[in-house]
Structure formats: structure tokens, C-alpha cells
Amino acid sequence: MARTERCSRCGRLIAPGSTFCPGCGGLAVPTGSRWKGKLPMGSSIAGCEITGSATHSPVTERYVARDLDSGEDREVVLVFPPGELQPEALKRFILFLESYKAESGSPGLLRVFRYIQEHGCIYIVTEPAPGPALDSKLVGMSGAFRALDRKNAVQLLLGACKIIKNFHTRLQPYFGISPKRIFLSGERGVILDLPIEPWLVPNWMTWPWLTYFEAGYIAPEVLQGDPVSPPADIYALGALAFHVTTGRPPMGLGKAPSELAFSAPKRLDGVIERAMAEQPSNRYLTVGDLAHDIEHAFTEATEQKDSEKKEETGSNRSETGTGTGISEMKNSGSKKKNKRGINSKDDYSKKKKTRSVATLLLLLVPLLIFAGYLVFVEKGLKWSGTENKDESRLPAILSVESEPPGALVNLDGEVLGRAPIRKKIKIIAGTHYLRLSKEHYVDVLKELKLEPGRNKIVKVNLVQREGVIESP
């Protein structure tokens, strides 16, 4: 595949190696998968010196930089708005950027120092990421989803609600809450990144780069084309509460958080259900009300747990005290002390009890190991199908094909390989999300409902992206 360039303003293909479009003067950006930043190392832009490249997306390139005046580390975000973007949308983003920059010194926001517009692009100078993103905490080393503990979950949710509340006091929605835009800083707490793609990319909800994590955070009315409003942020905060307490993205599950995770308070189910209501009028009126109910749900669950522990401890103490008193009354006349002042009879009885407990444990341990082995063998036989008569517990079998072949197959965030995958893959029956991606083709996201014991064959025809030139 020959490496090509496209104009960031008009979208036309231009000659490789060009810096600016000959037609409109827009910045040339790469269209191939091998990304190479347009800003060379050592160049100066917006008062910073470029020292390295970081990440990129279809509308942004992020660079590691150094401030020429203070010498501190910075991050330069090169934004090239798409050619099909309406001028009104660009003006709305500039107004949002001005509002964000004015408030960036307040707690909870990434610091934006300055920005300039040049050659149809926007250069934004921000501070480096103050800590890891939340999405790295919600996925384990093996790729499996995981939830936050109660203490961290409530701190994160209340911090995010406080930041969004400040946005809403200026009648300005945030529009872009997702785990990858939330940083966790030990000193500063929760930090929200500057959302760029949701404001600049037309039809952002159908964008091929939209991750599996972000898809469940978009309110239904926004998906239908309605303008973004504060109720959409309340919906996203409810999705965030679902995500951090269960460890699962809020997309297509249809179960309450308390049914998916033991750490999720039962009272939180109603809070999330109201925040994620389909109609905006049925949601919370303000973010403050949502934060109050979230805090009350966690506090009530903690108090209930503490009271149960106290009751259990008190009952144990009362039983122990009663038993001790009776035993002392019975044995008071029979106690004999030796020369060292130790009750010889009591000492002998304690040793005897200790030996009996040790003997009992020695007998129980092999029995428990043998019972565990039997359970393991029984479950293994059930999953293998040799002794399973209940069809509802059989795994589903999946095969995936793509046209053209070679697409990368991703199931629920885990890479299975490249299509065609004709070998039988055993998967737990239920709802799953399949994503196929291939270079120069539009990604495909499908919702699969797999039935137990049934073979599912998925065939997907990929659509080539517009403006891609293939080598003969």
C-alpha cells in the first residue's frame, strides 16, 4: 500500500511528502496506517519545542513538547478539523475551548495554557497527562473487565459530578465523558481531559474510531441527532456509575448493577436507572441531585454493613462471656495451682483441645481437597459436553468470516485473530459485541446473541473507506 496524504481542510488526496494542500492551503496529513507526525522533532510552535510524538487520531496529533519560556513539559495537540465540518460547528468548538481554557486553572480540569489557529489547524498547548486514564484501571492485564472498590468508586463519581456541575452552571455541556478522558491523579484527584473529537467530528456516534467503552456513554437523543444538552451529561454520569461499580461497559446488558457485582449497593440501581432514562425529562434535573443520591446510596450501604458487623461481634462477645462464667463456677473448686502459679488442670485441657483441633484439621483437609477435585471434574465434564444434559449450560460456538478476508476480529474487547476463523470457538451463550477492523476499511460493530449449544456463523462484508488509493 503506497503511503498517501490528504488535506485536513478539504479532504482531497495530494502527493506524498507534501506539507500543504495546493488547492486550499490546508495541512497535509497521512492516510496510511503507519503514522508519522507532521511536526518535525525540534521544531517550534505555539511557544513550545517539539521533543517527541505521542498519539494520533483522524483529527488530532499529540506531541511531547517543552515550553520555551519556563522549560516545563507540555503537550501540543495538533487539531485539523475535517473538511465536511460546518463553520458553525467550528465556532462552537472555539467557544467551548475558550470557556475550558478560562476555567482550566480550577480543580478537576486539564490545564490549557494557550492555542493558536494557523493553516486551517488549531494548535493547543496543554499540560501532560497528570496520571493514568480510567480505562486502564477498568481492564486487567489479561484483558478482562474489572470494577473499582467502593471507596475509589464513590470518590471518582462525586469528583466527576462536581466538575460537570461547574460546567452546567455556565449553561455549557461537557459532551465527552468516557473512561479515556478521565485521569486519576493522586494529588489532584479526578481530572477531565479536553474533549475534541465529539465537538469536531460530524456523526461522531458512528465514527469507526469510537471505542467499545465510549459507545454506551452516548445519550439516546444525541444518537437521534438532537443537540447536546446537560441531560446528556447526566446520562453519561449514570453510565460511568454503572461502569465503575460493575466493571462492565454500560452497553446492552439489561441487568441491574447489584445483580452483576456484589460491591454495588442495591440502592444504586434506582439511581442509575433514573440517570440513564431514555427520555431526558425523566432524568435528574441537576448534577447536584445525582451526586447527592450517589453519595447517599454508598453511605447507606456502608452504615448497614458496619451495623451488621457490630451486631455479630456483640453476639459473639455475649456468648463467650456467659460460657466463661459458667465454666468458672463449675471448676472453681477443682482448680489446683502448681509451684509456678499455673492451673495445671486448665493447661492440660487446653493442650488436649489444641491436639483434638489439629487432628480434626488433618482429617478435614484431605476430604476438602478430594471434594474440590470432584467438583472440578464434574464442571469440566459438563463444559466438555460428556455429561451435560442441560442445554442451557452448553457453550455457544462461533465462526467468523469477512470479505475481503484478513479482518482483525475483536470479541468483547479481546482479539480472537484474523478472519476467516473457521475453527469452532466455544463462548458462553448470551449477548456479545463483535468488532471487525481492517486497514483502509470501515470498522464494523455487531451485537451477537449466541444460543447455548448452537453454531453461529458470522459473515461480514467490509466497506472500503473513501479516498483510499491501493497499490496495484
**Angle at the Cα of 346 from the Cα atoms of 345 and 350, rounded to 5 degrees:** 120
Q: What is the C-alpha to C-alpha distance for residues 472 and 470, in angstroms, rounded to an integer?
A: 6
The grid coordinates of residue 180 equal 479515556
The set of cell numbers assigned to 158 is: 462525586
Query: Do the beta carbons of residue 55 and residue 78 sit within 8 Å?
Result: no
Measured distance CA(134)–CA(143) in Å, rounded: 14
What digits encode the pLDDT tens for the residues 301-327?
777 776 766 666 666 555 555 444 444
84 vs 150: which has the higher pLDDT? 150
Architecture of domain 394-461: Sandwich (2.60)
Of the candidates 44, 46, 40, 12, the one whose C-alpha atom is nearest the C-alpha of residue 26 is 12
Tell me the fold of 134-196+207-301: Transferase(Phosphotransferase); domain 1 (1.10.510)
Report the run of H or E that residue 64 belongs to, with start and end: strand 60-67
What confidence score (pLDDT) does residue 34 get? 38
67 pLDDT more than 90:
yes
Which region, left, alpha or beta, applies to residue 176 given φ > 0 means left and ψ of -120 to 50 means alpha?
A: left
3-state secondary structure of 288: helix
Query: What is residue 31's predicted lDDT score, i.e. its pLDDT?
Result: 54
224-235: pLDDT as tens digits: 878 788 999 999
CATH of domain 5-126: 3.30.200.20
- Quote the pLDDT of residue 318: 55
Domain range annotation of the chain: 5-126, 134-196+207-301, 345-378, 394-461
- Residue 246 burial by CB count (10 A; 0-12/13-18/19+): exposed, middle or buried? buried
SS3 per residue for 111-176: CEEEEEEECCEEEEEECCCCCCEHHHHCECCCCCECCCCHHHHHHHHHHHHHHHHHHHHCCCCCCC
